[in-house]
Amino acid sequence: MRCCSRSSPSRARARSSTAEASRGLARRAIVPIWRGNTPTRRAGLLTIIQILQVLLDLAWWIIIIQAVLSWLFAFNVINTGNEFVRSIWQGLQVVTEPIYRPIRRILPDFGALDVSPIVVLVLIAIIDIVLNRLAANIATGGAVPL
C-alpha cells in the first residue's frame, strides 16, 4: 500500500520539468522558420539564397575595387585623364553612389575620410552571415537555430 506522502511518478516528472523550465534548463524545441518541407521547395529557397549571396559578393568586390582606385587616384598612381580609367571610375560611382548616399546622410562628416564604404562592407558581411544561417536552417529542416 502506498503512503499518503508519496506522489505518483507522473506528478514528479511534471514538477521536475516545470522546475527545469523555470531555471532555463528546458530543451529548446527545434522549430523551422519555414514549414514547406518538400525537397523541391527547399531547393528553390536555397537557390534564391545562393543567388543573393553571389550578388552580395559582387557588391563586395565592386566596393573594394572602387576603394583601391580612389587610393590610386589620391596618390597620383593612375591618371584621371585616361579615358578608359575615367569610364571605369564613373561606372563604379554610378553603381555605388545610391548605396552610399543614405549612409552618408546618417554618418557625421569626417572631412576627407569617407567611411561609408566600410559601413556598407560591414552590413554586407552581416547580411551574408544571416543568409548562411538561414540556408543552414532550411537545408537541415530547422535543426540549426537562427
pLDDT of residue 79: 85
CB atoms within 10 A of CB 13: 10
Q: Which three cell numbers, joined as nine digits, stand for 142?
A: 530547422
Backbone angles phi, psi at 78, to 5 degrees: -115, 135
Give the chain's end-to-end CA distance (angstroms, integer): 51
Task: Return the pLDDT at 1.
Answer: 46
User: Which amino acid is present at 12?
Assistant: A
Give pairs for 130-135: CB < 8 Å, separation 24+: 131/49, 131/52, 131/53, 131/56, 132/53, 134/33, 134/49, 135/46, 135/49, 135/50
Looking at residue 40, what is its pLDDT? 83
Tell me the average confidence (pLDDT) per consecutive run of 10 residues in the chain, 146 residues long. 48 48 54 65 91 97 94 88 91 95 91 90 97 90 74
- Quote the pLDDT of residue 23: 52
pTM of the model: 0.70
pLDDT value at residue 80 = 82
